[in-house]
Each structure stands twice: as structure tokens, then as C-alpha cells.
Amino acid sequence: MGHDKNEQGNETGSSMEETDPSIKVITGEGDLIIEYSSAGDSTSTTRRWQVASELLSSNSPYFHALLDPTKFSEGRQFSAQKQAWNESQGSHLASQHLLPTVKLPSGILTSTCEEDSIELFLQILCLKSLNEEESASFEHELKFLSTSLVARLIDLADSFNSPRIIQDILRKVGYSYGKTKPSLIAKLSASTLQMKEDRIRQIILISAYLNDSRVTKIMTHALLVIGSRFWINGLEYPEEETLRWRYLPNGLEEEIYYRRQSVMNTITDLQAYFLRVYGCLEDPDGAKAAPNTRKPGAAFTTSAPLTVHLRQFQCRGGLNNASQCDLFQLGQMTRFFSLRAKTIFLGSTLIDPDFSANTNEDSHSVGEEKIGHSVKTPAGPPSDITAIIASLKQYPDYPIDEAHSGCGVRRRIMAPLECIEKFIWDDRGLLGIILPILDPLVSDISQLAKWTPWADLVNKKQTVEVSFARVTAVYYPLAPQKNQLSRSTPQEEVGRLLFTAAKRDWTATSG
């Protein structure tokens, strides 16, 4: 983002007789050279920018302290060099390379943010040195810059203790998150979920930085749905200093992960319900047992308190072979969930998962596919929640014979899947994080906006009733009667109740 007039020096009224082509002119009459050398290998380069020290000091607390001769050696050196420069004015020695020079630290963060973000940062600090036309051109260009550059700019500004001026200018220009049509991210859509994860994360970081609650809500919902390559082994904080969008700050990363796992747990609980009823395994007190008797999704572990009791057949026909019908459906369901949808796995509870009796490298465990000389573990389900739901909705209608048409799970699982899917696909981003509305004039930029985590709202062990394709009621332990949900209940609240419920009553959808 250069300015040709400034680069020429003479056109901006500079008194210098010589110009150095290796120095990028940001302020034509600037009295300071900012120098940055990238750390590392032999390919490292040195960049220099001519700026106005007064603008840097007035707009950046970092430079205000750095250039203060009473605080740091850089300030004392700058003061001495500036005095020598002033004395050389008007002589043939008054060349650009004699300007006072201050070097920026070449740490991990500055090298990661790269030179283009450093230059943009300095341009914003010195924006007042431009005339009206140049300023308008710069602001127009800034509005449509890539999210990658702006996210790095934010990291850099924070490291130099200068976040306010960056926030103010991005708000002033109406930053469009790299989109020529900002309306494209105003609502959740299929194109939103097709964005690359890095860009989604960058938009989340920028929107939270600007306290743009609308965009933050949409994009945190999107990341929740598509998942992250950084979550393969759960949440892992980066060992080395890295750009903040890789692990979102202020609790964003943890909250998005928690909400995603809540959705996954709900899908698991739905599958577990049908496996239990067709296998005649259920809680002793039935569907409305005390919520604290079992954690949702724990149906496949030995710790789940399952009891075999009086058989209630799921077969619709009520024929003499109803038992065989149920067992047939149970087998087909297990096969579909484990092999086609890959949303459950079958394993032994008798063996330590870290134990292997195979000492021969040619041998491999059951359930693993041997390819060449390597062993490949079967692929798991897709990470995208929309793809998981779509695969479950492909469940076929498995009749044991013509007399048992409609006895299977398909007719019963579709409605609750559609209930879950409504929250996933809602264009308002119902599961996203809602930032509180702050006054940009009085809010402290060093204290990022804080929202209420889902976990803090789960203070009652509620049981949610799902009827057909919507949540219809909520039961609380101390309230004997159910609380009907009205259409005026915010859908964000309904979604939270569904996905954080201690127990879900799926029976209303499976008659």
C-alpha cells in the first residue's frame, strides 16, 4: 500500500538532496528511519521505512516510550542522531541515509507477522501525514485488505501496545473482511461453510477485536460446524508463540470446542437411544429417569447403568416374530452406524487400549486394514457436522420381510435429526458466540468483550423433550410438571437447552 508521491520525496516537500531506493517513504518529511531485519537464515532481508517520529509517539504508546530519551537507550540515541541531522540541514550531507534510525525487535512474533504487516502498521500510525486525497485512497484500500494481513496487523499492534488506533481505523473504514460484498458473511450459508478454516479463524479474530457481534456469531457457528484440524487430539495449546487466530484468545477457542462437543454428544445420544430400545437395554426408570443417573452419550461404556427388563418390542406389526424383527433392526443399525456413517465404533472393554500383543510387524489388529508394509486405521466420520447428519439421514428402511415395512429406525430417526439440523443450518448462526454490545468510545480495548459460556448456564439438570422436529418442553428436577416452550422463546436459548441437556426424551418422536 504505497504512495508514489511520498516515495519521490521532492513532491512532498522534503529538504533532502539524496534519496535511498532501499528506504520506503511513508512520510516524505519524516525525521526517523524504522529498520527491521528478519531473523534467521541467509535469506534474511532488511527493510527500512521513513516515518515521522512525532506521529509514531502520539499514536503508539510503544513508540512514545521507545523514543523517550529519559527512558531507553534507543530514545537517547534517537535524540542525539536527530540533533546531528538538524545541524546538517542545508548541506550536501543532508541525505536520507543520515536520518536517525531505530531498529524493531526481530522476535518470533514480528517475523511471523511479516514485513507487509509492519509496513501497514507504520502507515496507519502516520496516516495524518497524508493529504485528503491520499488519505481517502489509503482508507478505501484498507477496507478490502485480506483477512490474513489484517489478522497479522492486529497481532503486531497488540505486541507494540497500540491496539486502539488499529481498531479505530478499521471501524472507520468499515472493514469488509476481505469481501467486496460484505453481505456474503451477514448470514450463514453453504458458501460460508466452504471457506477455508484459516480464513474463518481470521474473521473470528478480527470481528471479536472490532466487537462486531453479528459476524463473530456467524463465523464461530461456522467453525463449530466444520470442525478444526487443530482439534484432532482435543484442545492443545500451541507450544511455540504463533499467530493468535491459530488458537483464538479470550476463551473463544475453548468455548467453540465445548459447543461443538455438545452437538456431537447430542447426536451420539440419539443413536444410543435407538440402540438401547431395540436391544432392550434402558434405564430402570424409563425415559424420564433422574437426569444425574447417566451422562448423555455414555451408552457404549461399561459404566452406563443399563438394565435388562421386561421386553417392549419396537416392531410395529406386533406379529409373532416381533423379537426377530427387533434383533434384525438392531443388527442393521449397528452395521450402518459403525461401517457406513462411522459414527460409532465397536471394541473390547477387556483390553488396555495401549496394549498390543503383536510383536510381528507383519501382524495387525482386528479392524485395521493392512496396506503394503503399513497399517492403516479405518477412517472416522467426517468432521463437518452437516456431513455427519447427511450421512445419518441416508439410513435405509430395512424390513425383515414385507409384513414388517416401517418397523425400522428410519421413520423414527428422521424427525430428531431434522430438529438438530435446523439449529445447524439456521442462517442466523444460532450456536455461535454472542458478544455483548460495548460502547466503542468508552470500552477498554485491552479488555476484550466477555460473553456467557454455555457451561455457566447449565446450572439445572434439565431434561429436554423432542417432539417430531422441534424441542417442545423442558423438565427440571424440582419442577414436577414440564415447562412448555413457546414460539417466543429465543431459538439460541432453545438450541442451548437441547445440546446441553443432562437427558433428552426422544420417545415423543419415535411412536
27 near 73, Cβ under 8 Å?
no
Query: 206, 144, 156, 216: which is closest to 181 by C-alpha?
Result: 144
Q: Which three cell numbers stand for residue 505?
A: 426424551
44 near 114, Cβ under 8 Å?
no
Q: Please give the Cα distance from 71 to 345 (Å, whole number).
A: 63
Q: Please give the Cα distance from 136 to 300 (Å, whole number).
A: 62
Phi, psi angles (nearest 5°) of residue 2: -100, 170
Q: What pLDDT does residue 227 have?
A: 95
Triad 47, 104, 69: Cα angle to 5°: 125
270 near 417, Cβ under 8 Å?
yes
Query: 122, 207, 210: which is closest to 172 by C-alpha?
Result: 210
252 near 220, Cβ under 8 Å?
yes
Q: Please give the Cα distance from 491 to 298 (Å, whole number).
A: 27
pTM of the model: 0.83
Q: Which three cell numbers stand for residue 5?
A: 508521491
Q: Integer distance in angstroms from the first to the last C-alpha of the chain?
A: 65
Q: Please give the Cα distance from 121 to 58 (Å, whole number).
A: 14
Sign (positive/negative) of CA torsion 310, 315, 316, 320?
negative
Q: Which residues contact 144 (CB under 8 A, 6 or more apart)?
A: 176, 178, 179, 180
Q: Which three cell numbers stand for residue 97?
A: 541515509
Query: 307, 303, 291, 385: which is closest to 341 by C-alpha?
Result: 385
Q: What pLDDT does residue 278 have?
A: 85
Chain-centre distance for alpha carbon 79:
46
pLDDT tens, per residue, the chain with 511 residues: 555 444 444 444 444 445 667 889 999 888 899 999 876 555 678 889 999 999 999 999 999 998 888 887 877 888 887 777 776 664 444 566 678 888 888 777 777 888 999 999 999 999 999 999 999 999 999 999 999 999 999 999 998 999 999 999 999 999 999 887 767 788 999 999 999 999 999 999 999 999 999 999 999 999 999 999 999 888 988 877 789 999 999 899 999 999 999 999 999 999 999 998 888 776 544 444 434 333 444 444 434 455 545 567 777 666 677 788 888 888 989 999 999 899 988 877 787 767 766 655 554 444 454 544 444 455 667 789 999 999 999 998 888 877 677 788 888 899 999 999 999 999 999 999 998 876 655 555 555 557 889 988 875 678 899 988 889 888 887 766 667 677 788 999 999 999 999 899 998 665 5
Q: What pLDDT does residue 12 have?
A: 40
Sheet holding 479-484, edge to edge: 479-484, 470-476, 463-467, 503-505
Helices (H), 89-246: 108-125, 132-143, 147-159, 163-173, 190-193, 197-209, 213-226
Residue with cell 457481534: 213
Q: Please give the Cα distance from 392 to 414 (Å, whole number).
A: 9
Contacts of the segment 128-131: beta carbons below 8 A, 24+ positions apart:
128/55, 129/26, 129/27, 129/28, 129/29, 129/30, 129/52, 129/55, 130/3, 130/6
| Residue 369: how many other CB atoms lie within 10 Å | 11
Q: For the chain, how are helix, strand and coil distributed in percent, rounded to 5?
A: 45, 10, 45
